[in-house]
Amino acid sequence: MITQSFIFIGRSGCGKGTQVELLIEHLKKVDPNHGTLYIQSGAEFREFIKGPSITQKLSKDIYDKGLLQPEFLSVYMWVNLLVKNYTEGEHLVMDGMPRKFHEAGVLDSIFDFYKLVKPHVIFIDIGKEEAVKRLLARKRMDDIEEEIEKRLSWFETDVVPTIDFYRVNPKYCFHEINGERSVEEIHKDILSRLPF
């Protein structure tokens, strides 16, 4: 199998992480000869802001306010992971990024640099009300109603233009998935659109 690249994008609470895990498990079964590099910027940021540097402190302040990190720091976070960990012959799965239009341009240059075939963008679409309900139910520390509202508001202003960039770009395979179904139905839908 030719190695594949995947970008999972959608509102907070849409189930990206769950679907990524299911896809990675599926890739292990159908293509045991290739590994998978999973890049998830949210977890990396939560670890990063525990540090003592001025950058980490300023980043923590932004995180605590429920705002989006500046583009340079977001790009640094996932580019650093990629440069340190990517090996030839791996599938690449990116979860929850890029979040801004200009970040998508940077990521675009990465696919060209590594000569990766046409990436799959998997947009898991759920409504705002459904997102709020799911985020409150998972009871993570940053999932309080006020913070949820902030995160969902920047989805409309920042992430939607990024999704639109992928939707019309012939360099990508864009898949819009109805995320308001069972985990199993969503996973089956995603697999039905992929070339394996």
pLDDT, tens only, 90-141 = 999 999 889 899 999 999 999 989 989 899 999 999 998 898 888 888 766 5
Whole-prediction pTM: 0.89
> CA 122, CA 175: separation in Å to the nearest integer?
5
Domain that residue 47 falls in: 5-192
| Residue 195: pLDDT band with limits 50, 70, 90 | confident
Q: Give me the helices (H) in 11-113, please.
A: 16-30, 41-48, 54-64, 71-85, 101-113
> CA 104, CA 178: separation in Å to the nearest integer?
22
pLDDT at 143: 58
Q: Is the pLDDT of residue 63 over 90?
A: no
| Residue 144: pLDDT band with limits 50, 70, 90 | low
Strand pairing class (120-125; 173-178) = parallel
CB 17 within 8 Å of CB 179: no
**For residue 159, what is the domain's CATH number?**
3.40.50.300
pLDDT, tens only, 15-31 = 999 999 999 999 999 99
Number of domains forming the structure of the chain: 1
> CA 76, CA 39: separation in Å to the nearest integer?
12
